[in-house]
Chain A
Amino acid sequence: TNTCSQTTNLGIRGAMLFSVGVFLALVLNLLQVQRNVTLFPPDVISSIFSSAWWVPPCCGTASAIIGLLYPCIDSRLGEPHKFKREWSSVMRCVAVFVGINHASAKVDFANNVQLSLTLAALSIGLWWTFDRSRSGFGLGVSIALLATLATQLLVYNGVFHYQGLQYTSPDFLYIRSWLPCIFFAGVITMGNIGRQLALYEYKFIQEKTHQD
């Protein structure tokens, strides 16, 4: 029963992370819509979701994987994450992440280099404030690079030559300049949430074993 409950817990955690990811994807996409640059434009203009239908589920799945991966890697490396393990800190982290998105969507930067640099500084500040673990940094950078590459490929291969809504090149450069930083910050944030959730489960299991 122990393994059974463990898998259920894993499932619950995954579901929570998934829903958080979907929610954040929807909200942050709305922010980008206000700037009229969505990465993957929607099929129908009047659709409720401001992006292609598969983007939020993808983000949700990715965040579930990341959120489960972080505590797993922590336990593998044998260096449990001890830094600021509180829900208030996690909330702060999420708020800063939304803020970074907000800045990238709302603030007018002089050029894309400036945007990239600012966002990179903000993301690393996020990592320094809320994570400070090497594994977190490594995982964040690698996932951010992979995800950026994947989106580039998707866009280049013309998955979205739809309705003539092709990107103009300045738009695309703009997206490319903020995408990796946003991905990095998102990975750190989801990792933070995942770790906090795992902490609860860990405590629960500990109590359970004692009980048994």
Chain B
Amino acid sequence: MTLREQLREKISAAFYRHGLLCASYPVPIILFTSASILTCCYPLLRLPLPGTGPVEFTTGVRDYSVPSHEPQGDLGERPDWYRGPPVAYIQQVLVKAAVSPWDSSLVTVDVFRSPLSRAFSLLEEIRNHVHSDSSGIRSLETLCLQVTGLFPGLRRMQSVLPEHGCLLVSPGNYWQNQRELFDSDPDLLKTIQKHEPKGLHTSATLRDLLFGVPGKYTGVSHYNRKRVVTYTITLVLSSYDARFLGSLRARLKQLHPSANCSLRDDHMVHVHFKEEIGIAELIPLVTTYIILFAYIYFSTRKIDMVKSKWGLALAAVVTVLSSLLMSVGLCTLFGLTPTLNGGEIFPYLVVVIGLENVLVLTKSVVSTPVDLEVKLRIAQGLSNESWSIMKNMATELCIILIGYFTLVPAIQEFCLFAVVGLVSDFFLQMFFFTTVLSIDIRRMELADLNRRLPAEAGLPPPKPGPLRPREVPPPPRPSPHTITLQTPAFRNLRLPKRLRVVYFLARTRLAQRIIMVGTVIWIGILVYTDPAGIRTYLAAQVSEQSPLGDPGGGGLPPHLGVAPVFRGGDPTSTLSIHPAPDPTPLPENQSQGHHGSARITWGAEDEEGWRRLSFRHWPSLFSYYNITLAKRYISILPVIPVTVHVSPQEAIETRHPQDTRHPPPPIPKVSADLQTDLTLYKVAALGLAAGVLLVLLLFCLYRVLCPRNYGQNGVAHGRRRRGDLPCDDYGYSPPVSEISPLLLRGHSMDIECLASDGMLLASCCLAGQIRVWDAQTERHNIDFVGGATEPECLGSEARGPSVSGDGLSEEEDSYPLRHRTAPARPTLFTDQPDLTPLIDTNFTSQPPSHLSTPPREGFDFGGLVERAYIEHEPPSNSTYPSPSSASSSPPSGAQLQRRPSLGDAAAFLTQERASTAGTQATADWESSVWAMELRGNLIAAGRSSGKLELWDAVEGSLRCSNEDGVSGITALAFLNNRIVAARLNGSLDFFTVEINKPLCLLQYRGAPGRGSMPPSPCYSSEDVISCQLTRSVQCAHQKPITVLRAAAGRVVTGSQDHTVRIYRLEDSCCLFTLQGHSGGITAIYIDQTMVLASGGQDGAICLWDVLTGSRVSHVYGHRGDVTSLVCTTSCVISSGLDDLICIWDRSTGIKLYSIQQEVGCGASLGVISESLLVTGGQGCVSFWDLNFGDLLQTVYLGQSSDGQGVRQLLVLDNAAIVCDFGSELSLVYVPSVLEKLD
């Protein structure tokens, strides 16, 4: 044993023990892992939350010093970013200017023209300010931030923003800081407006940049009722010099003293800006995330065969995500701060760590044998994959280690995170995911257990006999009628949970409501958080309204509750703008300085006026000079307040000649606030419009996608009434099927066995009655009944031959024609139950409403029998097609359209003769029929008593019987002239049917025109048929044989002893014993091409090579028994007790897809053509497209929602499907397939 193998074994054993541990103590382990995840993620709390909003930090001005680069121990609440010098210091000079006292001769332009003109002198003052002390002479030039050219592409800003030298902005920039240009400007507002961007703009505009206060606070407009103009001169300094700034402040205060100004000037605010994400960064980021989600989607889609797919997918994603968080947390704990952008590298980390291990684990665990204990399954699954998991992990670690040695810091950091992430992912996989998986598997098995019980109860009693040993042997039944058949639980059409949720949503219109509410909230948030929006507006309102927030007391000119009046040019309006509501009214024409009509007040909101600006104000100012503030900070120094009073004379002097000629555009009755807040209303209106549009769009979508009249768009179908169709709990009826099934009624009890050879169809019910129907398309000629305990009762049905395949969907008049009742032992008639339904033969064409009523013409059974006796004597051809016999049928008024074919006539001719012979052989009336096969016109019936009977299908006579065996016949195969019978005790009997005259083709049955159908050989009724036991294999299997199939000269048996055996038909020689299943065999498929597939109780499906006996493939597809198996040339279709239909690729054994059916539906399967699959459900059959797994159509077999499931399903050659449906047979044609075949 090499070292590698030793290692492998050890790892495997360790994983096995670990799996046992996890599955044994799921709750403690999950608690433990959750605790460890939380512990490892704890350091993450200290990391800043993501977001792009700026962060502030306030320090005092007095003891300010530039912070050093190095982090210095514990600095209290000092943030991480507060290191090194800021990008710039911002010094704002806040100017409030007003013409005082207001003169009635002044025009509105005067409100701001002369105050703005003062900016030029102030600018001059600031530029020329020089501070000299012992350390030297400093001017603004030495301290300010020197800029060198605007960002290319901002040519239009060139004239406005300073291009060289100091970055110093003020409203004067509009006029290139030249007083002459200002004075000669005829329309100031136009100049200002010229640079405003068109359309909606909520971030920093040029006007905001230059004025330094939000547009509506500047007072530069025609509607400024306060007549105070506010603007700032913003100095951007590269270095901080307390003395220079102090002297500048003192100088300005001295020049323009601000009375009652109590602004605090001892705090400076440092603002740190986060990294900004532009569209160029966003698109690759979004792309990587899309790829990540696609990866997660495609990975988790592969999780299969578990109880809750979504739960496990969630667990897998949680595993990966929390391992990443753990890795970041651990790295932070050990002092490694992440410098990489977390959002950027995150997708790559997920992809590197991957979901593969999780999927491999799941797959490995679910493919362990189902019958094992959960603990052992987990352990085994884990140990199976241990080696590959370890190998993968080692490889990944190696790759990452190589990456670590690239010595590129970014890659090294990535690798470090990835390594820690990988290790913690492994830890979580082993502890968290394995445990979740074990819980899931346990839940699944519980659900299976619950489901299996009713499914078992619903199984037909004779068949499960061999399957379930406890039911063996069947108790002797005095009469077949005493068989208690548990009816399948009555259930409405059940919908899967997902659909129920969808229906619930649709019913309550939940989605629309949520979206509507969301839209409203979104609009609200938009309006509220908009920088120029309602919040700041409200804040301003409140602070202006409240006397507390206004240190100036009640000197406010009122602006609330405004009467719509003209102002401005109208001199008399001066009076009216100071109406009574003013709390402390001032004398109107007071001419003294500070108590002028335009009173300048300083409030707390002026202290940090920059807060009212958009948070993108500073970044956009700097970005014009190609300076980014991302991840850097600026320091904002306390403002220098400047109050300017301009005398009316000065205002008049600075007037431009055109100012008086331009009266303000009359916008009467519009509040000035409205004008400035137009942006806000625009936003609101647009948002509202968008919301309304969205809601309308959704509404339209909703109308289109889910119309209120559910199901009414279907084809209005003939006489079918909607109420008759099955409805689900929510009142939605399934669409009306275009294929109308034909009901073949006649059995009094549930149908047990079905057999067909393409021509005839034989069915046997629990009552032991065998009925033979003509399976041909046009005529549903129920020929005959071979009775067991009862005498034959015939219902014969004939339909007009004029109808060919396409006419099936239509209802046509047919007439029931009872042409013959065969006599049997008349004594038995006495103990007959009510047989009326047997005779009620008007099945196919009656509209359902008629069907729901009792038979129209309750036959008097006694009379019928009597007539049968009478009819027995004369030749039947006289009674059969003639109208006179029709008159004995119910007076339905249907015309007789039937033109009997030759074959029919012949058949009936022979029937007569044989009818007497039927009583010759003594039939077994006591036991029930367990198996039946039909070949030619011979029905082979295997009984519970071990008796094999051969009946003539046409005549209903018992031709011979064989009582060599005593054990009940569980399965029969009839091939050529051999019959193979499998018995309950595991033995296998080979019979040979010998006829004194060889097989001959006596007749064609069926319509003359159908030459394509192979003629079915018939045994002549003259022949004496004997059935000889040629060989009996006593111990073919250890346990009862459950399945027996014969094809291509081979007989294949499957048994509960987990093996499959192949026998040669000719010499009954056992060729192979196939072992590979870990449960009893439940389904076998073999066809002429020697394909052998077997399915067992372990949920496994094996494909075998019949020639060599080797196993081609072995797959696990089902939880619980495989109930049915069918193959096409390319795929294998299996159905299981788990209501799953799986489609496998036949050559590779790979599962192509699976169809989850409704719970408790039948497990019967049939393949009509290469691409058309039919499955039986509750009272319906469904057609599926095999290529894509789409449901093509569901055909409801009966009216109303009776819970009868389709238990057996037979596909006939002419693309018809026969299925049993309680006590009825249903014949369904697939017209489209018929067309294809033609």
Contact = CB atoms under 8 A, between A and B. Distances in A.
Interface string B288-331: 10011011001101100000000000000000000000000000
B1171 A95 contact: no
B1130 A108 contact: no
B373 to A, nearest CB: 32
Interface string B615-645: 0000000000000000000000000000000
B408 A211 contact: no
B410 interface: yes
A30 B298 contact: no
Given A95-B295, A109-B408, A86 B302 contact: yes
Contact of B284 (A87, A102, A121, A206): A102
Interface string A67-98: 00000000000000000001110111011101
B298 A50 contact: no
A166 interface: no
Contacts of A103: 410-411
A210 B344 contact: no
Given A92-B354, A211-B1170, A27 B284 contact: yes
Interface residues of B, number: 35
Contact of A91 (B295, B348, B406, B1171): B295
A87 B1187 CA distance: 20
B351 A96 contact: yes
Given A91-B298, A108-B410, A27 B283 contact: yes
Interface string A182-212: 0000000000000000000000001100110
Contacts of A106: 344, 410
Identify whether the interface residues of A are mostly helix, strand, loop, or mixed: helix
A125 B406 CA distance: 14
Contact of B294 (A33, A45, A91, A125): A91
Given A121-B402, A211-B1187, A99 B1170 contact: no
B284 A31 contact: yes
Contacts of A117: 406
Interface string A97-118: 0110011001111100010011
A202 B354 CA distance: 28
B347 interface: yes
A202 to B, nearest CB: 12
A114 B408 contact: yes
A169 interface: no
B408 A45 contact: no
Contacts of B284: 27-28, 30-31, 98, 102
A114 B347 CA distance: 24
A94 B301 CA distance: 18
B1173 to A, nearest CB: 13
A109 B402 CA distance: 16
Interface in A114-169: 114, 117-118, 121, 125
A34 interface: yes
Contact of A88 (B298, B406, B1187): B298
B411 A107 contact: yes
Contacts of B403: 121
A39 to B, nearest CB: 16
Nearest to B410: A107
A207 B1186 CA distance: 9
Interface in A7-28: 23, 26-28
B287 interface: yes
B281 interface: yes
A95 B348 contact: yes
B884 interface: no
B514 interface: no
A211 B1171 contact: yes
A61 to B, nearest CB: 21
Given A27-B284, A110-B408, A102 B295 contact: no
A98 B294 CA distance: 14
Contacts of A30: 280, 283-284
A57 B973 CA distance: 66
B406 A114 contact: yes
Interface string B1202-1236: 00000000000000000000000000000000000
Given A27-B287, A98-B284, A109-B408, A88 B302 contact: yes
Contacts of A108: 408, 410
B1129 interface: yes
A88 B287 CA distance: 16
A94 B291 contact: yes
Nearest to B347: A95
Contact of B292 (A86, A95, A109, A121): A95
Given A94-B291, A98-B288, A211-B1170, A86 B298 contact: yes
Contacts of B407: 110, 114
Contacts of A23: 287
Contact of A207 (B295, B301, B348, B1187): B1187
A102 B1130 contact: no
Contacts of A207: 1130, 1171, 1187
A47 to B, nearest CB: 12
Given A33-B280, A125-B399, A99 B1129 contact: no
30 contacts: A28-B284, A33-B280, A34-B280, A86-B298, A86-B302, A88-B299, A88-B302, A88-B355, A91-B291, A91-B298, A92-B295, A92-B351, A92-B354, A95-B288, A95-B292, A96-B351, A98-B288, A99-B348, A99-B351, A102-B284, A102-B344, A102-B348, A106-B410, A110-B407, A118-B406, A118-B411, A207-B1130, A207-B1187, A210-B1128, A210-B1129
Interface of B: 153, 280-281, 283-284, 287-288, 291-292, 294-295, 298-299, 301-302, 344, 347-348, 351, 354-355, 399, 402-403, 406-408, 410-411, 1128-1130, 1170-1171, 1187
6 closest cross-chain pairs (CB), A and B: A91-B295, A88-B298, A87-B298, A88-B299, A107-B410, A95-B351
Interface of A: 23, 26-28, 30-31, 33-34, 45-46, 50, 86-88, 90-92, 94-96, 98-99, 102-103, 106-110, 114, 117-118, 121, 125, 206-207, 210-211
